[in-house]
Amino acid sequence: ILPSLSPDLEDVVVRGVVRRDFELSGMYDVIPDAKAPAGMYGFEDPVDVPAWRNIGAEVVIKVAARKRDGKVEISGLAYFLSHGADPVYQKKLVVGSGEVRLTAHRLTDALLGALTGRDGGFASHMTYVAPWGHARRVFTMDADGHDLTPRSNDKDTAIAPTWGAGGTLFYASSHEYSPFSLFKDTAGTPEKVNLPFSTSIYGVSFDDKTGKMAVAVAEGLGSAIYVGNADGTGLQKVSNTEIATHPVWSPSGKLAWVGGGGKQGTQRIYVDGKPASPSGFAASSPVFCDTEDGIRLVFTVSVAGDRQDLVMTNERGGGIARLTQDQGSNTYPACSVDGRLLAFFSTRKSGQGPGMYLLSLKRWKTQRLSGQTGESLRWAPLPK
């Protein structure tokens, strides 16, 4: 990432966002500014490819911005230094000042795509639930930790947020101990979703490819998963466990949930009705990650006492691998759009302390993204 000498705030914002995104992506080690070759780094100044090659750089990214006629012009270039002095990617965009940060994320995603063949996932947003007084409230924020915003009513108790088509936020909410109802929020105004149930809604998930909806519904002394159309019609029961919550779709169309109770015993992860997590370990919070090595299933397992750790398997539960250990309780994983990063909440006291962390599934490095902690984390791309 080339250093910038421009005093423009837009340039600082763009470079800062792009640099942070590349550092978090886990794809490359970023060379410190102090080791950068001498030279000019203005908007129109060329990249000195031989100088960067001499200090051992393999890839050079140049991102710059300047004000132009009341707008901001942003330029992005990428070079493979082993393939000559011509860029393998170049793009110029003109945007409003309020679009600089998002444009920088989209540019990072495109640059990662040019370098690796798979676009990045930084033009995205997260949602989760956190304590608010004596209740729970839904929050959203950008994938880099910016723009943290409360979304649900501060006088209600909200649970299980997720993203639907077009960036629509869905969550279940209860007012004064009433059953939890499903709400959607497109532009800051919650609207109740009419479902054919009078009992509480405990969770919802949408299949991006088929448009199907899966919803967890209170039923008798337990709960069940129903699948139907995204508008809530045509719902049919698909779960076969006494308790079934936290539905989540795989990119391949498989459906996972947390099931247990009765004859099933310990709470386990089920995929299309079959147990996928190991027996004897209470499991929760499944999520599918569409990685470069294939689709992976990540979930939490209870270990010592009330502590939980993250484990990863293939799409149906085979080949289990542990992702966290001896670092507090680690819960509610969510995967980035490109499958390179895993976000989760941790109560660890060492290092940077408790908060939301990102784990690179490429290089197994962990970095704290935010000091926020909560539940039911979900991660999805921003609508274009």
- Of the listed ranges 14-23, 126-135, 162-171, the least confidently predicted one is 14-23
pLDDT of residue 280: 86
Q: In what side-by-side order are the strands of the sheet with 341-346?
A: 330-335, 341-346, 355-360, 366-370
pLDDT of residue 330: 96
The Cα 214–Cα 225 span in angstroms is 7
Q: Average pLDDT, stretch 33-58? A: 89
The predicted model scores a pTM of 0.91
Q: Are 249 and 288 in contact (CB under 8 A)?
A: yes
List the beta bridge partners of residue 30.
Answer: none
User: Quick one: which of 259, 220, 216, 211 has its CA closest to 237?
Assistant: 216
Q: Is the pLDDT of residue 26 over 80?
A: no
pLDDT of residue 32: 86
* DSSP summary character for residue 351: T
Q: Average pLDDT, stretch 314-323? A: 94
Average pLDDT, the chain: 91
Beta strands in 261-337 (DSSP E): 268-271, 274-275, 283-291, 294-302, 308-314, 321-322, 330-335
Q: Are 134 and 177 in contact (CB under 8 A)?
A: no
Q: Is the pLDDT of residue 178 over 70?
A: yes
High-pLDDT (> 90) share of the chain, %? 70
Q: Average pLDDT, stretch 20-43? A: 85
Q: Is the pLDDT of residue 2 over 80?
A: no
Q: Is the pLDDT of residue 3 over 80?
A: no
Higher pLDDT, 290 or 24: 290
pLDDT interval class at 133 (50, 70, 90) = confident
pLDDT of residue 42: 84
pLDDT interval class at 85 (50, 70, 90) = confident
List the beta bridge partners of residue 182.
Answer: 172
Phi-psi region of 293 (alpha: psi -120 to 50; beta: other; left: phi over 0): alpha
Q: How many Cβ atoms are within 10 Å of 39's Cβ, its own excluded? A: 14
pLDDT digits (tens, 9 = 90+) for 319-376: 999 999 989 999 999 999 999 999 999 999 988 899 999 999 988 889 999 998 999 9
Q: Is the pLDDT of residue 7 over 60?
A: no
pLDDT of residue 8: 67
Q: Is the pLDDT of residue 262 over 80?
A: no
High-pLDDT (> 70) share of the chain, %? 97
User: Rounded to 5 degrees, what are φ and ψ at 170?
Assistant: -120, 145
**Distance from CA of residue 137 to its chain's centroid?**
19
Q: Is the pLDDT of residue 6 over 60?
A: no
Report long-range pairs for 216-225 (Cβ below 8 Å, ≥24 apart): 216/160, 216/244, 216/245, 216/246, 216/247, 216/257, 218/179, 222/261, 222/262, 225/255, 225/257
Q: Is the pLDDT of residue 5 over 60?
A: no
Q: Average pLDDT, stretch 172-187? A: 93
Q: Is the pLDDT of residue 27 over 80?
A: no
